[in-house]
Amino acid sequence: MKKILVIGANGQIGTELTTALVKLHGASQVVTSDIQPQGRHPQLSYETLDVTDAKRLADVVAQHNVGEIYHLAAALSAKGEEHPEWAWNLNMTGLLNVLEVARQAKLSKVFWPSSIAAFGPSTPRDNAPQVGAMDPKTVYGISKLAGEHWCAWYAEKYGMDIRSLRYPGLISYSAEPGGGTTDYAIQALFAAAAGKNYTSFLDVDSTLPMMYMPDAVRATIELMSAPKEQLKVVGSYNLAAWSFAPRELADIIRRRYPAFEMRYQPDFRQVIADAWPRSIDDSKAREEWSWTPAYSLADMVDDMLTHLAAAQP
Ligand code: AKB
């Protein structure tokens, strides 16, 4: 049977998505890969893979009889602004290599994540629509918008099955995020669970769309399992759970840690956040493949703090 290759399996999404894929398909069906010499899932096959190396990617696909790829390796928004050429090369060359190997090896499906970063200041800030003005202002956002168009081009030109979600900021405790603008929320939760205060690099009322990782993983699997004829969006689906600002997160954290204090020292990441929507209209995902988030914002904070507190020394 053909196998599933997860590229970027050691990352924030890959760590948890791989576990969910193993539950669904079995350990022998999932091959993990990332840039590091070792994987995070010791029971699984692991390949050290730089996705910008097309030849190595093609070899891994052939060697493991791969039929499906989840391509999650990417530079995020804040790190991308600091290292623009590196970010563009990783995000674009990586995606084009995946699409090309998928075409040549006739893979059955590809998953690739887009992001709310593909939107920009011309997008309505509330309920950003599925289709509308998109003028991203970061290298990361430009790569996501270009990537959406490349995925649509390959799908239309070659009849390939390429599926994608515009993830909001994702919150999780298993693996660190890779330098994003929404990372402040994760850092604040880690600080609170360690009995520390936190200084946010986004301002007190900077509202952004966010989601808990178990919901993001389930959305990914539900999208990838949906019958193809049900999916009408060409490109990437808007996806949402809830939105909050640093002030609201601090208020909810204080229900468990009353002494917790959040201070505010906005830096260059504030400019990035200011160009993103405050909320997302994900009605197409809800209509076409019955998307609905399971965790409320309060559930997420509670679950995160419980896991993080249990991991304290
Ligand atoms: C980031 O902040 O760069 C990411 C994203 C919203 O795609 N978390």
Closest atom of ligand 1 to CA, residue 140: 3
The DSSP secondary structure of 238-307, one letter per residue, reads E--SEEE-HHHHHHHHHHH-TT--EEE---HHHHHHHTS-SSB--HHHHHHH-------HHHHHHHHHHH
Mean pLDDT for all residues in the chain: 97
Residue 231 lies in a domain: no
Does residue 169 have its Cβ closer than 6 Å to ligand 1?
Answer: yes
Q: Does the ipTM exceed 0.95?
A: yes
- Examine the fold and report which residue of 153, 185, 220 is the final residue of a domain before the chain moves on: 220
- Which residues lie across from 66 on neighbouring strands? 3
125-130: which pairs have CB atoms within 8 A and are 24 or more residues apart?
125/277, 125/278, 125/279, 126/277, 126/278, 126/279, 127/277, 127/279, 127/280, 127/281, 128/238, 128/277, 128/279, 128/280, 128/281, 129/238, 129/281, 130/233, 130/237, 130/238, 130/281, 130/282, 130/283, 130/284
Residue 307 lies in a domain: yes
Residues 150 and 48 in one domain: yes
CA 78 to ligand 1 center in whole angstroms? 8
The DSSP secondary structure of 146-175, one letter per residue, reads HHHHHHHHHHHHH---EEEEEE-EEE-SSS
CATH number at residue 77: 3.40.50.720
CB atoms within 10 A of CB 288: 15
> Which residue minimizes the CA distance to atom 6 of ligand 1?
169
Residues 276 and 186 in one domain: yes
Residue 69 lies in a domain: yes
The answer to whether 209 touches 174, Cβ cutoff 8 Å, is: no
Residue 279 lies in a domain: yes
Classify residue 97 by its DSSP letter.
Answer: H
Q: E-assigned strands of 168-207?
A: 169-171, 198-200
Residues 190 and 86 in one domain: no
> Which residue minimizes the CA distance to atom 8 of ligand 1?
169
Reported confidence tier of residue 176, pLDDT bands at 50, 70, 90: confident
Residues 272 and 157 in one domain: no
Q: For a pocket test of ligand 1, which of 12, 182, 184 has the largest count of ligand atoms closer than 8 A to its C-beta? A: 182
Residues 58 and 138 in one domain: yes
Q: Is residue 216 scored above 90 in pLDDT?
A: yes
CATH number at residue 273: 3.90.25.10
Does residue 180 have its Cβ closer than 6 Å to ligand 1?
Answer: yes
Residues 32 and 164 in one domain: yes
Check residue 55 and give its pLDDT.
98
Residue 232 lies in a domain: no
Residue 228 lies in a domain: no
User: Once rounded to an integer, what is the mean pLDDT over residues 207-217?
Assistant: 98
Residues 73 and 133 in one domain: yes
CA 277 to ligand 1 center in whole angstroms? 12
- The boundaries of the domain holding residue 88 are 3-168+212-220
Does residue 114 have its Cβ closer than 6 Å to ligand 1?
Answer: no
Check residue 177 and give its pLDDT.
78
CA 28 to ligand 1 center in whole angstroms? 31
Question: What is the residue type of 200?
Answer: S
Give the active site residues. 140
Residues 22 and 116 in one domain: yes
User: Once rounded to an integer, what is the mean pLDDT over residues 292-300?
Assistant: 98
Residues 187 and 293 in one domain: yes
Residues 200 and 249 in one domain: yes
Closest atom of ligand 1 to CA, residue 168: 6
Sheet holding 169-171, edge to edge: 169-171, 208-212, 242-244
Q: For a pocket test of ligand 1, which of 167, 171, 186, 206 has the largest count of ligand atoms closer than 8 A to its C-beta? A: 167
d(CA 60, CA 130): 35
Residues 43 and 120 in one domain: yes
Check residue 178 and give its pLDDT.
81
Closest atom of ligand 1 to CA, residue 208: 6
Residue 230 lies in a domain: no
CA 59 to ligand 1 center in whole angstroms? 31
237-251 per-position pLDDT tens digit: 999 999 999 999 999
CA 210 to ligand 1 center in whole angstroms? 9
Residues 140 and 13 in one domain: yes
Distances (CA, A) of 153 to 103, 158, 172, 235: 12, 8, 32, 9
12-65 per-position pLDDT tens digit: 999 999 999 999 999 999 999 999 999 999 999 999 999 999 999 999 999 999
Q: For a pocket test of ligand 1, which of 12, 72, 76 has the largest count of ligand atoms closer than 8 A to its C-beta? A: 76
| Number of domains within the chain | 2
Residue 234 lies in a domain: no
d(CA 189, CA 308): 8
